[in-house]
Copies of this chain bind each other. A is one copy, B any other.
Amino acid sequence: MHQEEFRVRTAGRQFLDLTSRIAEVVRHSGVRQGLCNVFLSHTSASLVICENADPAVRRDLERFMQRIARDGDPAYEHDTEGPDDMPAHIRTVLTQSSLVIPVRDSRLALGTWQGVYLWEHRTSAHERRVLVTVW
Contact = CB atoms under 8 A, between A and B. Distances in A.
A78 B54 contact: yes
Q: How large is the interface on A (under 10, 10 to 19, 20 to 34, 35 or more residues)?
A: 35 or more
Interface string A57-98: 101110110011100000111101000001001101111111
A101 interface: yes
Given A90-B64, A95-B93, A97-B114, A133 B35 contact: yes
The residue among A42, A49, A63, A95 with the most chain B CB atoms within 10 A of its own CB is: A49
Copies in the complex: 3
Interface in A77-135: 77-78, 80, 86, 89-90, 92-102, 104, 109-114, 129, 131, 133, 135
Contacts of A86: 57, 60
A101 B98 contact: yes
12 contacts: A3-B33, A34-B133, A34-B135, A42-B114, A48-B93, A49-B97, A50-B92, A54-B78, A61-B89, A61-B93, A67-B75, A68-B68
